[in-house]
Amino acid sequence: MSISYKFAKLSAKTIESSQNFKHYIESHLFEYKNIMGLSIVDMLIFNGKENNQVKPESLGNKGRYLCFHNAGDWTLGITLGSILLGTLLGLVSIIFFGVWLYSQFTSTPEDFPFWFVLPAIGFNLFFLNFRPILMRYILPKREVYFDRQNQTVSFSWSVNNAEKNEHGHSTFPFEDIEAFYSKANHSQGHGVTHAMYIAHKDYENQRGAFSEIRVKDNPQNPNYCKYTWERIVRFMDVTKPLFDSPEIEPFRHLDPVTHDFDKQNNRPEKYWRLMSYKQMEQIEEELDDDIYRFNFDGAITNPKRWANKEITKPWEKWPIDESLNQPDNTPYWKRLMKTLAMQIIAGV
C-alpha cells in the first residue's frame, strides 16, 4: 500500500549521490520456457521468449532506461491475486480429489466433485492465457524510469506542471530529483524496516512526482536503499560506460560510450548469457553480503579508505564455471508433466 509524501518525509534521511560501492551486478535469467503446454496465448503471440532485439528509443532498451515499478502499484495485486487464488483453488481441488479417491475404497463412494474441480481448472487456464495480455496491454504500468541518454526521470502517471517525453510520460531533469529513505514499519516482529523514495525537490509545485522504489533483500538495513540510489547515480553517469550487469549485457552496444569501452576492453559479447543462472545467483549473493557490511557513509567522507575498486572485467574475476553450466537432461515428458501440473494447479 502506498503512503503519502508528507508521511514518508516525517523520518526521512537524504541519500547522497555517490559512486563508492561500484559493484552493481544482479542475476538475470536468460533462459525462457520452451514448453508452452496449455498457454496458447504465449505460444501464438509471445512465443515464450523476451524480445531483446529492441529499438534504441524503446523503453525495453535497458542500456538507456533503468525502470522501477512503483512499490504501491495496485495493478500488481490483480496479477498476483489471480495466481494466489488459482493456487488456492488448485490445492482445494487436490484435497477434493483425494477425498473422492479414498471414498472409492469405502462402502459409501462419493461422486467426483466436478462442480468445483472443473471451474477451478477453468479459472487457472483462463488467467494463464489472459494474464500476459492483461499485464502487457490492459493494466496501466505505474513505473518510474531513468533515461541515461536525456538525463531525465519520468513517471508513467500524471504529475502537476510536468512536461511530457516522447512516450507521453511526466518528465523532469535528473538533477531535480532527490532520494531519501525512512522507517517503514515496526510490526510483525520484524523491528524497524526501511523504504526508499524518490521525489521532485520542489514537490509542492510538482505534486505526484513521488514514488517508493523497491529495494532488494534486507529492508532492515538502510544500506540497501543507499545501494539502490548509488546504482541509479552510476547508471546516469554518461562520462562512464554502463556498469557490467547481466540484464544490461544485450543492450550495451546501443550505448555509444559503453560500445567503445567494450571494444577497447576486449569484452566477450555474451559473457553473462553463457553463464549459468546458478553461478550468477552465487555472485549476487556474495555481493549482497558486501552491501550489508559496506560503510556507505564512511566511503563518502574517506573514499580512499572505504570505496571499492570498480570491476571492469568480471569475466576475469568470475570465470564461467562449466560444472554449473550443464544442460538439463530431464526427459521431455517429465518437463511437460511438470509444466502442465503448474498450469492446471496454479495457473502459471
Q: How many Å separate Cα 68 from the centre of its chain?
A: 7
In this predicted model, which residue has the larger pLDDT, 130 or 88? 88
> What confidence score (pLDDT) does residue 51 get?
45
Residues 42-58: tens digit of each pLDDT: 666 655 444 446 777 78
Adjacent-strand bridge partners of 200: 177
52-61, 200-209, 274-283: least confident range: 52-61
Q: Where are the beta strands (DSSP E) in 125-193?
A: 143-147, 152-155, 163-164, 170-173, 177-183
Q: pLDDT digit string (tens) for 251-272?
A: 999 999 999 999 999 999 999 9
Instruction: List the Cα angle 37/40/46 in 5-degree steps.
Output: 105
Mean pLDDT confidence for 208-234: 87
Predicted local confidence at residue 324, as pLDDT: 83
Q: Give burial (CB, 10 Å; 0-12/13-18/19+) of 232.
A: buried
Q: What contacts 330, CB < 8 A, 6 or more positions away? A: none
pLDDT in tens, 302-319: 999 999 999 999 999 999
The reported pTM is 0.82
